[in-house]
Structure 1
Amino acid sequence: MENWYIPITIIPGIGLLILSTSNLMVALSNEMRMLIADTTTTQILMEKKLRQLKLLNSAMVFLYSSVGFLLVSGLVSGIMQSVGGHNNSFIYITIGGICWALIGLALLVIYSFKAVKLRQDQFNNKC
């Protein structure tokens, strides 16, 4: 059974997540740069923005790792198929990659909720 392509087909979707997350990181970094230049910015607001940046960075690490797992899985499966082996270890590597991607997605969901809450606090001048 040819299963080497299954983990490889998931990678473009994760790549789009990585692209959108890196765009979020750039936008957040630019916002932080503007807040640093503003003398009325509070320390609390900057700390919250730094926590947001850390959360996005963690999500990126999980997404990048997921791509690595899926690439290795496809490679192992393809090699096993070409040498006639029947080792199903690629399935566990694929599951690991999917789990890492799900953790990255969970971090992005947490980021989204916290970003909205922070915007509400900024609007209400609580930070």
Structure 2
Amino acid sequence: MNWYIPITILPGLGMLILSTATQMMGLSSEIGALVSKKCSPFQHTIAQKKIKQLGLLTRASTLLYTATGCYVLSGIIGAIYENDSVWSVPSITLYVGTILMFIGITFLIIYAFRTVIIRKLQFDNNHLME
């Protein structure tokens, strides 16, 4: 494995992390607006769902950060120890990072689907809100 391969993936992973952080901030603001005043039972339900969404985004973000660390570590170890084995430490670290990245992306996909469901629920019940 060439040592620079995991390093070349970092910009794309950085964009995913930036996007996730932006979504977390926006969602946190929405939750803050919902719970800053007394809520109706429906608004309370929506706030609960959004808090779960925030937890999902936090887990995805953590996985993406950890994957980034694995990629950097893999590149550094690969540069220090020239080893072309598929089962070398740099390769295994790269594989672990890739698995973590895909799990994080899966969480982001689940988040996206749930967000649409929550928005539809808000739209369907908009006429009931104060």
Task: Please state if 1:30 is matched with 2:21.
Answer: no
* 1:5 and 2:13 matched: no
**Superposed, which structure 2 residues align to 1:48-63 within 5 Å?**
48-63=49-64
The residue aligned with 1:94 is 94
* Partners of 1:8 and 1:74 within 8 A in 2: yes
Is the 8 Å Cα contact of residues 69 and 94 (structure 1) preserved in structure 2?
yes
State the alpha-carbon separation in 2 of the partners of residues 40 and 111 from structure 1. 24
Segments of structure 2 that go 5 or more residues without pairing to the other structure are none
Runs of 4+ in 1 over 6 A off after TM superposition: none
SS at match of 2:81: helix
Aligned length: 123
Deviation at 1:45, TM superposition (A): 1.3
**Alpha-carbon contact 1:80-1:86 (below 8 Å) kept:** no
Deviations 1:14-36 (A, max 9, x none): 00000000000000011111111
Percent sequence identity over matched residues?
A: 37
TM-score, normalised by the number of residues in structure 2: 0.87
CA drift of 1:86 comes to 5.9
Amino acid at match of 1:60: S
Structure 1 residue 37, shift from structure 2 partner: 2.6
Matched, 1:47 2:48: yes
Shift of 1:48: 0.5
Q: Counterpart of 2:47 in structure 1: which amino acid?
A: M
- Runs (5+) with no aligned partner, structure 1: none
Residue by residue over 1:36-86, the C-alpha shift from the partner in whole angstroms, topping out at 9 and shown as x without a partner, is 1343443211110110000000000100000011111001110003xxx56
CA distance in 1, matches of 2:90, 2:102: 18
SS across alignment from 1:35 = helix
Shift of the 124–86 alpha-carbon distance from structure 1 to 2, 3 Å rule, reads closer
Letter in 2 for 1:23: T
C-alpha RMSD of the superposition: 1.8
Between the aligned partners of 2:119 and 2:84, the Cα distance in structure 1 is 53
